[in-house]
Amino acid sequence: MTGPDGGQAAAHAEIRRQHRFLQDWFAGTLPRTAEAFAPFAASTPPDFTFIDTSAARTSRPELLRQVESAHGAVPGLVIEVSEVSLIAAAGPLVIAGFTEVHVTADARTTRLVTAVLRHDPAAPGGLAWLHLHETAR
């Protein structure tokens, strides 16, 4: 189910897809419409959890509310994703690590990220996000 590379190519593509959305949403270059936001919401199942760089745990409903309300909050934001690596893959699950850098006019912040993904043909990029954990660097 994960393919000959263990799912690394699919994970890499999905991580980049999701972060392009976040960059464009926070920068305000996407329209603030339900249609533009829907793929982001559809990529996370109801039990999705997120742990941010302050170690706060956020549920899916709260994360969706926070992201939706932050439309256009960071004009000019650039999100760089690099060092995507496959940590593990078994059955439909893929665990990936990557470095994420947020660049604004005033700051450059780096975080190390671990994502737990599940192959799901119904998800916009073919992978559903089950868990995301960020650590400030």
* pLDDT at position 42 over 90: yes
Closest by Cα among 133, 134, 113, 130 to 43: 130
Domains of the chain, by residue range, sit at: 8-136
Confidence bin at 3 (pLDDT 50/70/90): low
What integer is the mean pLDDT of 12-36?
98
Does the structural domain 8-136 have CATH classification 3.40.50.720?
Answer: no
Confidence bin at 2 (pLDDT 50/70/90): low
pTM for the whole structure: 0.93
Question: Cα(86)–Cα(137) distance, rounded to whole angstroms?
Answer: 20
Confidence bin at 6 (pLDDT 50/70/90): low
What integer is the mean pLDDT of 100-123?
97
What integer is the mean pLDDT of 67-75?
98
Half-sphere exposure of 5 (CA within 13 A, CB side): 9
* pLDDT at position 34 over 60: yes
